[in-house]
Structure 1
Amino acid sequence: MLKSFRAALALSVITLSAFATSSAFAEPLKVVASFTVIADFAKNVGGDRVNITTIVGPDGDAHVYEPSPADAVAMAKADVVLVNGLHFEGFLQRLIDASATKASIVTLTKGVTPIDFKPEFADADAAEGADTGGGKTVTDPHAFQSIANAKIYVKNIAEAFCTADATGCDSYKANAAAYATKLDVLEGEVKAAIQSIPEAKRVVITSHDAFGYFEHEYGLTFLAPQGVSTDSEPSAADVAKLVKQVKQDKATAIFIENITNPRLIEQISSESGIKVGGTLYSDALSGPDGPASTYIDMMHNNITQIKGAILGS
């Protein structure tokens, strides 16, 4: 009887130990995403195996964001930190230093072919001088505006999660593949919408030059007074130059961005006679109740707004 009790007790201890070990492995991976688009990609890849903290939240502007003490705490506790790179997050190095994080810092634009910012209004980017290579070019950091690039981000996230949590690797890869299929469908829809717009009408105005990769990939022309970053105000000469170009290029639609003050766009609308066509989501998703709470919703919203404003539908 005593031997049976001891055997049962030993079995219970082994079972509890095994349960504790499996629970430890089931602890979600602590992930910090620099902004909402990356957080959405990470959720799609990580599923319930990851716990995600987002630094720059919905409708937030990563170009001018100032980190909080809570951000430093989240970074310090993280297993993996996912960032855009290409100087998109001006606050990043300061936050890494302040948090003394030991997490892997994963740059998701690895493997992306970067493009240079269009030079029409480059003087508005004087504050970005450190990134200009002596004032000659500015690399456009908004690579996620190309759906083909978004798939590279997703692949990089899956690889980072596999490295940090090998037991979940099959799950991460399967999730990434399923999401990539959804992105393929999305890309087909965006291309079809662009094709429905006459070539002569594919010129639109936005607040800052966040859509260079979209333009490069899908064939719209975007004009913007603020250049590649929102951290400097355009001069009166920049605005006058843009209004003149708008009239020359026969821009057909003008849009407010969710991350910027609408005043400048309203001024250009007034001076050019082009009606504001709606809001585009550029550097951040909307809140959960908004029209762009996921990357796929953001792309759907933007192309629907653009097509509707140009074609009047």
Structure 2
Amino acid sequence: MKRGAGQLMACLAGVLAAALVLAGCAGGPVGGDGEDRPVVLTTFTVLQDIGQNVAGDHLAVESITKTGAEIHGYEPTPKDIAKASDADLILDNGLNLELWFEQFVESVDVPHVVVSEGVEVLDITGDAYAGKPNPHAWMSPVNVQIYVDNMVDAFSDLDPEHAADFEANGEAYKEELQGIQDDLVTELQTLPENQRALVTCEGAFSYLARDAGLSEHYIWPVNAEQQATPQQIAGVIETVETQDVPAVFCESTVSDKPMQQVVDATDARFGGTLYVDSLSEADGPVPTYLDLVRYDADTIVAGLTGDGS
């Protein structure tokens, strides 16, 4: 986080006070399209899209953060908290991703579900993060099938009349997720074992790498203000050279300059930009979660196999 804990708590307290005023002036919950449907509020756009696929037309699923937002260090506004107060259900990822969200979730009388519940959690590697969970569980299509099950249960509790529809939507969506997972694993099996390595700027792909049979390597473990020390870059250069890694990648919400240094110092090529924390606008490359995970899978395969060169 960009601020100290004391500053953040004081800031959120002020935000909450202002939000209560806004919430008192607001009407009842309505979807963003003006229809009177139960409102499900998510913390970021990836969860919103997954949730809307499960909900179909029965619920309005909205996101606090906008497309392109950096989720880790987001700072909530009074309008965000007022929106949370008016929701019928709140979904968040958990695993310490939305620490900025925890205080005001506890301050509103709205049912709350953590969609990563039941995922086999991986810890962030590195002494500074010992014992802390890697929050990017949604980057694995296998894990997102668990997210979907949790959403089906939560939506069915919220709107029992449409529980069968939520179940059917969830099953269809999980089939698409499994298809992407199967294609990724099959295509990566053509690589020599030492080259089955995913090298990125942030360590956001631990779950995807585990489930796709890749080793994971990165410059920094978690996005922060101070990134890419010379020692971190040197470590990645050594890994790329030792394992003869054919391509390296970086994420859309950070600068790829540190990774370009790795490219300049090795025989690896820059394999492309990967998407993690946010969807793109409707006319962008990843307007939905399925687009995101399919795009990342295709980019990784093309980079590592050389099909994209």
Q: Which residue of 2 aligns with 1:186?
A: 180
> 5+ unaligned residues in a row in structure 1: which ranges?
1-25, 127-131
Paired letter, 1:225:
I
SS at the partner of 1:207?
A: strand
Give the superposition deviation at 1:68.
2.3
1:236 aligns with 2:230: yes
Name the CA distance, whole Å, in 2 between partners of 1:95 and 1:252.
Answer: 45
1:35 aligns with 2:29: no
Name the CA distance, whole Å, in 2 between partners of 1:34 and 1:80.
Answer: 12
Q: Alignment identity in percent?
A: 29
Paired letter, 1:195:
Q
> 5+ unaligned residues in a row in structure 2: which ranges?
1-34
Name the CA distance, whole Å, in 2 between partners of 1:231 and 1:206.
Answer: 17
1:86 to 95, 110, 132: 95
Distance of aligned partners of 1:232 and 1:138 in 2 relative to their CA distance in 1, 3 Å threshold: farther
1:266 to 238, 252, 260: 260
1:57 to 56, 66, 71: 66
TM-score by length of 2: 0.82
Listed as ranges, the matches of 1:152-171 within 5 Å are 152-171=146-165
- In terms of mean alpha carbon deviation, does 104-113 or 189-198 score higher? 189-198
- In terms of mean alpha carbon deviation, does 224-233 or 198-207 score higher? 224-233
Checking the alignment, whether the CA contact within 8 Å between 2:90 and 2:113 is kept in structure 1 is: yes
1:110 aligns with 2:135: no
Checking the alignment, whether the CA contact within 8 Å between 2:37 and 2:58 is kept in structure 1 is: yes
Checking the alignment, whether the CA contact within 8 Å between 1:203 and 1:250 is kept in structure 2 is: no
Give the superposition deviation at 1:244.
2.1
Name the CA distance, whole Å, in 2 between partners of 1:265 and 1:69.
Answer: 37
Name the CA distance, whole Å, in 2 between partners of 1:183 and 1:101.
Answer: 33
Give the superposition deviation at 1:245.
2.3
Name the CA distance, whole Å, in 2 between partners of 1:84 and 1:36.
Answer: 11
Q: Which residue of 2 aligns with 1:19?
A: none
Give the superposition deviation at 1:57.
2.4
Name the CA distance, whole Å, in 2 between partners of 1:252 and 1:142.
Answer: 25
Name the CA distance, whole Å, in 2 between partners of 1:48 and 1:62.
Answer: 27
The structure with more radius of gyration: 1
Paired letter, 1:152:
I
1:247 aligns with 2:241: yes
2:219 to 225, 228, 252: 225
Q: Which residue of 2 aligns with 1:101?
A: 108
Distance of aligned partners of 1:232 and 1:92 in 2 relative to their CA distance in 1, 3 Å threshold: farther
Name the CA distance, whole Å, in 1 between partners of 2:210 and 2:198.
Answer: 14
Checking the alignment, whether the CA contact within 8 Å between 2:228 and 2:258 is kept in structure 1 is: no
- The 4+ residue runs of structure 1 with deviation greater than 3 A are 228-232
- In terms of mean alpha carbon deviation, does 295-304 or 236-245 score higher? 236-245
- In terms of mean alpha carbon deviation, does 249-258 or 265-274 score higher? 265-274
Checking the alignment, whether the CA contact within 8 Å between 1:45 and 1:179 is kept in structure 2 is: yes
1:305 aligns with 2:292: no
RMSD over aligned CA atoms reads: 2.0
Paired letter, 1:214:
L
Aligned length: 274
Checking the alignment, whether the CA contact within 8 Å between 2:240 and 2:268 is kept in structure 1 is: no
Give the superposition deviation at 1:230.
3.9
SS at the partner of 1:49?
A: coil
SS at the partner of 1:225?
A: strand
Distance of aligned partners of 1:170 and 1:27 in 2 relative to their CA distance in 1, 3 Å threshold: farther
Paired letter, 1:115:
L
Name the CA distance, whole Å, in 2 between partners of 1:176 and 1:73.
Answer: 30
1:45 aligns with 2:46: no
- In terms of mean alpha carbon deviation, does 246-255 or 203-212 score higher? 246-255
Checking the alignment, whether the CA contact within 8 Å between 1:258 and 1:279 is kept in structure 2 is: yes
In proportion to residue count, which structure has more helix?
Answer: 1
Q: Deviations over 1:193-213 (max 9, x none)?
A: 222333232123211001001
Paired letter, 1:280:
L
Checking the alignment, whether the CA contact within 8 Å between 1:61 and 1:259 is kept in structure 2 is: yes
Checking the alignment, whether the CA contact within 8 Å between 1:202 and 1:252 is kept in structure 2 is: no
Checking the alignment, whether the CA contact within 8 Å between 1:193 and 1:303 is kept in structure 2 is: no
Q: Which residue of 2 aligns with 1:16?
A: none
